[in-house]
Structure 1
Amino acid sequence: MRKLTDELAYQVLSVVEEIPAGKVASYGQIAALIGREKNARLVGKILSRAEYYGEYPCHRVVNHAGRLAPGFAAQKSLLLAEGVPFKDAVHVDMKRARWDC
């Protein structure tokens, strides 16, 4: 894994900024969109520090199975407010809510 730079952070966050309200993307999906298919964890690390770069809709990013981010208490309520469908208490319905970018 290469060093986390501001340039890389802004690459990730610029993709996150494009996710429309009511849709979600996975960490791996974002990694692939910036040409780093094997760096889903790096995307997660960047999102955990996104507050240092400005305001981004990081709540719209979940894991490949639709699971919410652990420790992000407000994520579910933010997604529900946008009309994102859930399969159960902690999983977004990826078939219906995945961002088709």
Structure 2
Amino acid sequence: MEKASFFKDVYEVVKQIPKGKVTSYGAIANYLGVKSGARMVGWAMNASFTSEETIPAHRVVNRVGLLTGKHHFGSADEMANKLREEGLKVKGDQIIAFDKHFWDPSVELAL
């Protein structure tokens, strides 16, 4: 799979995450058929800030709900603030009640 094509596929999934929901790098990779591709999804999220499209990268976190990508946003609190604006509670870079807010593309989307 070409990098540009993979990144585009990741962005298409991320754009479908509803407000107030989050998913993980690994869940996106699994949905795209790249089970061990969580790191590649992370690279795509890092590159999303240069995209001409608006990609809601703040809705992608690690497998336990940590805001591991927060350093790619404009400020240290921007990712958490965007999630709070959507109704999620964040404490110490951790989404509170992560399971309640988790959106699994393999369940929610059909290939």
**TM score, norm. by length of structure 1:** 0.88
- 1:19 maps to which residue? 17
Q: Structure 2: which 5+ runs fail to align? A: none
Q: How many residues align?
A: 98
The Cα shift of 1:49 comes to 0.5
Say yes or no: does 1:81 pair with 2:79.
Answer: no
Mapped partners of 1:46, 1:57: distance in 2: 12
Higher helix share: 2
Say yes or no: does 1:60 pair with 2:59.
Answer: yes
Say yes or no: does 1:10 pair with 2:8.
Answer: yes
SS in 2 for 1:56: coil
Q: Structure 1: which 5+ runs fail to align? A: none
Q: Is the 8 A contact 1:13 1:56 kept in 2?
A: yes
Give the letter for the 2:19 counterpart.
Answer: A
What percent of counterpart residues are identical?
A: 34
The Cα shift of 1:67 comes to 0.3
**TM score, norm. by length of structure 2:** 0.81
